[in-house]
Amino acid sequence: MTHRRSILLSAMVLAVMSATPAWAQKKIVVGFAQVGAESEWRTANTNSIKETAAKEGIELKFADAQQKQENQIKAIRSFIAQKVDVIAFAPVVNTGWDTVLKEAKAAKIPVILTDRSVETKDESLYLSFLGSDFMEEGRKAGRWLLEKAKTMKGEINVVELQGTVGSAPAIERKKGFEEIIKANPNIKIIRSQTGDFTRAKGKEVMEAFLKAEGKKINVLYAHNDDMAIGAIQAIEEAGMKPVKDITIISVDAVKGAFEAMMAGKMDVSVECNPLLGPQLFAAVKDVVAGKTIPRRIVTQEGVYTMDMAAKEFPNRKY
């Protein structure tokens, strides 16, 4: 073999060795601690995360916390012990995370919050927050009511079904709504209680509202569609008509809400997009590749009313 040919050959061998074939590349491992399975929104969110991970060839360790913070903390600790590449989770409530997040930081595992934010003094405890702007969702619901109020006479009594106590969407959807409705002194929230984001609880609490306030109630503001749908049942069982007797305002805009709107039983639902999988795993891949990702990734959302429902329904993915 000539000298030149042997140089060429060793260069080729080197090139082959450095281009690691796909089968030899290390899979990215992500630990995801989900809130639970409390709503239609959550089911769509879980599906989006599982489907995207599979599509992207990412190994997903998935834990369902059944709406309990202690279960989420346990899951995060087990992800740390398993040395996953990235931890992602949707914090059920927004406080009490510092200790476990410090443990993740000490283990040098980046954390991405999805869906819900946390309250902490140490901003270095998580890398990024991907999810909706809940304050803005509350404001959108409020703005819709301000418009509607122009066609209503006298006092406008609102009952409010709040989401899970201490969760970011419950706190912020309430705040955003209140911020807007105070522009009209006729609008008053006469009762406000949690329905924990579920249909069963939404129905139960609405029954209690109806017992206490009866025909005085003009508007229901529910922090999610499942609670609104449960409440609609309670209203009908009490012999009243949703929309006609009580205006129904909700959040999420899942298929169940579109069905209710098409049946003339819900006035409006503010959209909250649960399909976070593609944005989450795009961010995960960037993090693992050493790229910087934005501190805040916001999802784009709209507002859907009863008269738009039938036309939009075929386009809905959740």
Of 41, 89, 144, 177, the one binding ligand GYE (CB under 6 A) is: 41
Q: Which is nearer to ligand GYE, 72 or 224 (CB)?
A: 224
Nearer to ligand GYE, 110 or 195 (CB): 195
Listed in sequence order, the residues at least 6 apart from 127 whose beta carbon sits closer than 8 Å to its beta carbon are 110, 111, 112, 287, 293, 295
Helix axis angle, 40-56 to 225-237, nearest 10°? 150
Angstrom distance (rounded) from CA 247 to CA 241: 9
Dihedral sign of CA atoms 113, 45, 250, 253 in order: positive
Q: What kind and span of H or E run contains 30?
A: strand 29-34
Label residue 25 exposed, middle or buried (CB < 10 Å: 0-12, 13-18, 19+): exposed
Instruction: Name which of 130 and 187 has its Cβ closer to ligand GYE.
Output: 130
- The residue among 197 and 209 lying less far from ligand GYE, judged by its C-beta, is 197
Q: Is 48 in the site for ligand GYE (CB under 6 A)?
A: no
Residue 247 interacting with ligand GYE (CB under 6 A): no
| Number of residues this chain uses to bind ligand GYE (CB under 6 A) | 12
Stretch of 4-12, 25-33, 35-43, 51-59 lying at the interface with ligand GYE (CB under 6 A): 35-43
For residues 39 and 198, what is the distance between their CA atoms, to the nearest angstrom? 6
Contact 273, 133 (CB under 8 A): no
**Separation between Cα atoms, residue 268 and residue 262, nearest integer Å:** 11
Contact segment (CB under 6 A) with ligand GYE among 33-41, 72-80, 181-189, 208-216 equals 33-41
Among 58, 112, 161, 272, binds ligand GYE (CB under 6 A): 272
Task: By CB under 6 A, tell whether 169 contacts ligand GYE.
Answer: yes
- Exactly one of 31, 33, 38, 75 binds ligand GYE (CB under 6 A); which one? 38
Distance CA 169, CA 136 (A): 10
Is-contact 242 248, C-beta < 8 A?
yes
Instruction: Tell me which residues in 178-237 interact with ligand GYE (CB under 6 A).
Output: 197, 224
- CA 33 to chain CA mean position, Å: 13
- If the CB atoms of residues 68 and 83 are measured against ligand GYE, the closer one turns out to be 68
Kindly tell me which of 160 and 252 has the beta carbon lying closer to ligand GYE.
Answer: 252
Q: Is 39 in the site for ligand GYE (CB under 6 A)?
A: yes
Given 28, 32, 42, 85, the residue binding ligand GYE (CB under 6 A):
42
Of 137 and 267, CB closest to ligand GYE:
137
The residues in 114-133 that bind ligand GYE, with binding defined as CB under 6 A, are 115-116
Rounded to whole angstroms, the Cα distance separating 212 from 134 reads 29
Question: What are the CA-CA distances from residue 66 to residues 2, 48, 240 (Å)?
Answer: 70, 18, 34
How near is the Cβ of 283 to ligand GYE at its closest, in Å?
18
Question: Residue 184 Cβ, how far from ligand GYE at the closest point, in Å?
Answer: 25
Which residues would be at the binding site for ligand GYE (CB under 6 A)? 38-39, 41-42, 115-116, 169, 197, 224, 251-252, 272
